[in-house]
Amino acid sequence: MAMARRKLADTGAGTMDQQEWVAAAGRGGPGGHWSSRPEGGGWFAIWLIRFIGLHFGRTVARSILYPITLYFYFRRGPERRAARDYFQRLDGRPGSAWQVLRLIHAFAATILDRVFLLARGADDFAITTHGVEALQQRLDAGRGVLLVGAHIGSFDVLRVLAAQRTQTRLKFVMDKGKTPAINTLLEALAPELADCVVDTARGGTEVVLALSETVREGGMIALLGDRGRPHEAMREVPFLGARAAFPAAPWLIASLLKVPVVLCLGLYRGGNRYDLVFETLAEQVHLPRAGRGPALDACIARYAGRLEQHLHAAPYNWFNFYDFWLPQAVADAGAEAHGAAPALDDRLRQAHAA
């Protein structure tokens, strides 16, 4: 059992990092992996912005985002090139300097807004919800729900729903060790945040048991489904005109827990405006042993297709500042996925039964 637990932890099941600082997730060069990039900004810069924001207000703090944007534009070449490539795939033309600057600024703005969302709530924001009625009905019926987001917009806007449903548990699945500075900052602003996080460093068995308990109580599990960690099972699907690798873990977890899967995106619309979108992706995920690969591909393709549609409507929300379509990464991940998915599913079931 100890060996099974170690293997499950190594798969990174559901470990889509939620906390990222400005442009910190870019690869350092060809063949690199997004997870190898250090946390951007540093402790001092992150806490300085927090101090300015809380003591001088959001307007003053937002004025500082302009030099921050310029700094990262000129100093972070891989992120700049990745952003240009994203716009090339989105509309057929390489991103202009203005588009890339606007994208970095939007990312910085959403990170700043996290400070205010946690410290003061959503009263100062104009947040429009879409599709929340169907989600509320599932929760009212006592059904657990798996919310799958992406590094698109702000996942923290989801806390608005959590504040409206204090009786419903919300658990975020994340790797706290990836970005310690921003995590420490956010927990200092909202100490109760620590109780809402399932830290994947706890080990595979503990993570699965924590998620199972949340589902049994009719709660919500939230994770990001667009990035995989090294050696994690991945599947290739079409995305913005080319094939890209997405992790299989969210869909394996959904199949195990037998819960509906709902897309959740907090799209940034500029200023203090956000659209919080909920869309049902699957009432239940069925992954039969025979034909497991095609079933996974169908689930992930539907997810990727919806991300693509939302990016066309809100292009300045793509916050994966690395080569998402890197051929070597796709090849390596794809080779492992064909044999890893059934084994991962078995280990998840072992942990679930433990």
* The two three-digit tokens of residue 134, written as one number: 């169907």
Measure the CA–CA gap between 189 and 133, rounded to whole angstroms: 30
Among candidates 330, 334, 332, 329, which has minimal Cα distance to 32?
Answer: 329
pLDDT digits (tens, 9 = 90+) for 144-202: 999 999 999 998 888 777 777 777 788 888 776 666 666 666 666 666 666 777 777 66
Contacts of 322 (CB under 8 A, 6+ apart): 25, 26, 27, 32, 34, 37, 78, 79, 82
Residue 110's alpha-carbon distances to 22, 159, 235, 246, in angstroms, are: 9, 14, 29, 24
Determine contact, residues 21/111, Cβ cutoff 8 Å: yes
CB atoms within 10 A of CB 56: 12
Burial of 291 (0-12, 13-18, 19+ CB in 10 A): exposed
75 pLDDT exceeds 80? yes
Q: Which of 183-187, 225-229, 304-308 has the lowest mean pLDDT?
A: 183-187
* SS3 at position 147: strand
pLDDT at site 43: 56
What size, in residues, is the chain? 354
* The two three-digit tokens of residue 234, written as one number: 């991945």
The DSSP-derived string for 278-322 is: EEEEESS----STTHHHHHHHHHHHHHHHHHHHHHHSGGGB---S
Among candidates 294, 308, 320, which has minimal Cα distance to 236?
Answer: 294
pLDDT at site 354: 54
Predicted TM-score of the model (pTM): 0.81
76 pLDDT exceeds 60? yes
DSSP state of 271: T
Task: Determine the residue type at 284.
Answer: Q
pLDDT digits (tens, 9 = 90+) for 85-95: 999 999 999 99
pLDDT at site 21: 26
pLDDT digits (tens, 9 = 90+) for 2-39: 333 333 333 333 333 333 322 223 333 433 454 555 44
Positive or negative, the Cα torsion across 247, 224, 79, 91?
positive
What mean pLDDT do residues 129-144 have? Answer: 89
Determine contact, residues 66/54, Cβ cutoff 8 Å: no
- The residues spanned by each domain of the chain are 2-18+124-353
The residue to which tokens 């699965």 are assigned: 208
287 pLDDT exceeds 80? yes
**Cα 307–chain centre separation:** 12
304 pLDDT exceeds 80? yes
pLDDT at site 19: 34
